[in-house]
Amino acid sequence: MSKKKTALITGIGGQDGSYLSEHLTTLGYEVHGIIRRHSVAENQDSRLKNVAGQIHTHYGDLLDYPSLARIVKDVNPDEIYNLGAMSHVRISFDMPSFTIQTNALGVLNMLEVYRTTCPKARFYQASSSEMFGNSVDEDGCQRLTTPMNPVSPYGCSKVLGYNLVRHYRHAYRLHACNGILFNHESPRRGTNFVTNKVVKTAVEIRKGIKDKLELGNLDSYRDWGHSKDYTRAMMRIINHDTPEDFIVATGETHSVRNLCEVVFTKLGMD
């Protein structure tokens, strides 16, 4: 009888972490997750209701090396998914130092604990399309060979994390890989992200609670996928025969204007 696989997820309480935990438990994994302490306990695991009682959670922080070392040693995972991050691009301008520390030094901490504690495990790093910034190839696409010229503290921090994973893979022969994910959404997305902001505010306008929706550039284009699909891609990336870096995207772009048109039309509004 084969040994039950164990997975450790940082940022398990987020959109991606919650969907990933559901996929893994369905496949028979023993799932452990790291959560940061919040002053309101209910906010820590509100997205994990579907796997309540099926997973194990541990208090820790990507910037607290001792907590990471303790958790990884106790769990001894076969797979590590580093999804924890300061994940909001615009807010990264307000909190650049925290963003760089969490998304870069936090990755370094995880890689060091991984290297010294369970080097036979497999490691997945949640990288981002924001690393490319405004760099686009002549055919209008972005690919692994596209220059990375980030235009936000968030993008800069993700580039460093991405390169650290590549360095550790080559320097220490670890099964460490990057998934460069383009935008992915779901009903579990926070309401300060544009997709859920549009949906929530449109509903409030429909109900007469608000009278307007304030947005920035309506002609900004994004490649939007679904988090549930993209977390399945993470599992395929980490279980690939050789550790490599992959881009996950739909290949289609839509404008914020188009998003608004779809949402307001669904609600019977102009």
DSSP 118-178: -TTSEEEEEEEGGGSBT---TTS---TTS--B--SHHHHHHHHHHHHHHHHHHHH--EEEE
Q: What is the pLDDT of residue 39?
A: 72
pLDDT of residue 139: 93
* Model pLDDT, residue 41: 67
| Count of Cβ atoms closer than 10 Å to residue 109 Cβ | 22
256 pLDDT more than 60? yes
Q: What is the rounded CA–CA span in Å between residue 148 and residue 34?
A: 30
Q: What is the mean pLDDT of residues 206-214?
A: 93
Q: For residue range 41-52, list pLDDT tens digits in order.
A: 666 678 888 998
Identify the band that residue 1 occupies on the pLDDT scale cut at 50, 70 and 90: low
pLDDT at 177: 98
The model's pTM: 0.93
